[in-house]
Amino acid sequence: MTLSVDSAAASLMQEGLVQAVVVGADRIAANGDVANKVGTYPLALAARAHEIPFYVAAPRSTIDPACPDGASIPIEERAPAEVAEGFGPRTAPNGVQIRNPAFDVTPANLITALVTEAGVIQPLNGRCIAANLEKPGISAG
């Protein structure tokens, strides 16, 4: 395994140095769309472009069966100052509009499989997700 900064991932994929991508999830919609830290969606796009499997590993408690799809997941916007003044002194011009989303949504069609404590969900779709949620819980003991 090799650890790298997020911004180098696509280049490493292009060089053939990545065999698989595994990310977490903050929320998973009933159809398999995944909300995770911002930057996950472009990572999934790069993996798809380079034919690299893209897995999401998350507890079943992350799956929200009442949320139909990724468009229904509210995306938190963080303070503009985190971008404009992230290194102390202001680096962004005054008056410029700043967007600072904390999360993005990766569509289910870019995800190879979802891995939960109850097993692997593949293909990733509403029917398979519902079946995983019906499995008995795993006890910690």
Catalytically annotated residues = 26
Q: Is 45 exposed, middle or buried (0-12, 13-18, 19+ CB in 10 A)?
A: middle
Strand order in the sheet with 103-106: 63-64, 27-29, 34-37, 103-106
Compute the distance between CA of residue 140 and CA of residue 112 in angstroms, rounded to an integer: 27
Six token digits for residue 110: 């870019």
User: For the chain, what's the residue count?
Assistant: 141
